[in-house]
């Protein structure tokens, strides 16, 4: 009888040990879940940082394109450089003539140099304000709170500054620049600035 009892106890111990070895304990599952959640939070934060960086880079690329656009317009109208000088925030009214044959206007309807400069500035301002991309009547393209400033000398030296608001607070992009660049846009820790100086001969 005692021998049979010992055999049954041994058999019970073997069955119990097998059962323990088959599954995970609740503590192991909870630890694994905590590690998984912490990893997912890190990946999510990394994704947000990457998206912000991508947007900042896109804005800078757009600003570079807008500066190149106005410089090319000024090169084609070299005699009117003084008419391009100023600060532009979206206050220009549409000129009497849009001097751009590339958008369906009559080729024979020739503009004067002064009309061309007025048309150039209006179209350029609309471009960086994002008027070419609208959703529900609101501009969705362009830069965020842009301000553009143009300076030109009689010798043909042209400086174009593009200022806009970045997505996150870092530092004022014009804090260490000259007074002309600092005066373009509103000073803040989110101001981004791109400046190009070139010669138009």
Q: Is the pLDDT of residue 10 over 70?
A: no
The mean-pLDDT minimum among 124-138, 146-160, 183-197 falls in: 124-138
The number of domains in the chain is 1
Percent of the chain, pLDDT > 70? 84
Report the pLDDT value the prediction gives residue 100, as an integer from 0 to 100.
72
Q: DSSP E strands: which ranges in the chain? A: 86-88, 134-135, 138-139, 147-152, 157-165, 191-199
Q: Is the pLDDT of residue 159 over 70?
A: yes
Give the predicted TM-score (pTM) of the model.
0.74
Highest-pLDDT range among 8-17, 68-77, 91-100: 68-77
The mean per-residue pLDDT over the stretch 47-69 comes to 89
Phi, psi of 11 (to 5 degrees): -65, -40
Residue range of the domain that includes 128: 2-199
Would you place residue 162 in the very low, low, confident or very high pLDDT band (cuts 50, 70, 90)? very high
Question: Measuring CA to CA, which residue among 156, 200, 165, 159 is closest to residue 177?
Answer: 159
Phi, psi of 189 (to 5 degrees): -75, 0
């Amino acid at each position: 009888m005692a021998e049979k009892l010992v055999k049954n106890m041994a058999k019970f111990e073997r069955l119990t040990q097998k059962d323990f070895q088959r599954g995970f304990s609740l503590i192991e599952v909870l630890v694994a879940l905590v590690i998984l959640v912490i990893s997912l939070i890190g990946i999510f934060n990394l994704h947000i940082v990457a998206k912000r960086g991508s947007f900042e880079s896109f804005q800078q690329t757009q600003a570079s394109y807008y500066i190149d656009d106005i410089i090319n317009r000024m090169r084609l109208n070299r005699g009117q450089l003084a008419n391009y000088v100023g600060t532009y925030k979206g206050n220009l009214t549409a000129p009497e003539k849009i001097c751009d044959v590339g958008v369906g206007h009559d080729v024979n309807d020739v503009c004067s140099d002064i009309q061309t400069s007025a048309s150039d500035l209006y179209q350029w301002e609309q471009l960086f304000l994002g008027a070419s991309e609208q959703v529900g009547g609101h501009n969705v393209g362009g830069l965020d709170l842009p301000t553009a400033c143009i300076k030109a000398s009689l010798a043909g030296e042209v400086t174009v500054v593009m200022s806009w608001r970045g997505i996150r607070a870092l530092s004022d992009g014009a804090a260490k620049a000259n007074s002309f660049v600092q005066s373009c846009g509103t000073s803040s820790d989110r101001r981004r600035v791109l400046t190009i100086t070139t010669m138009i001969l």
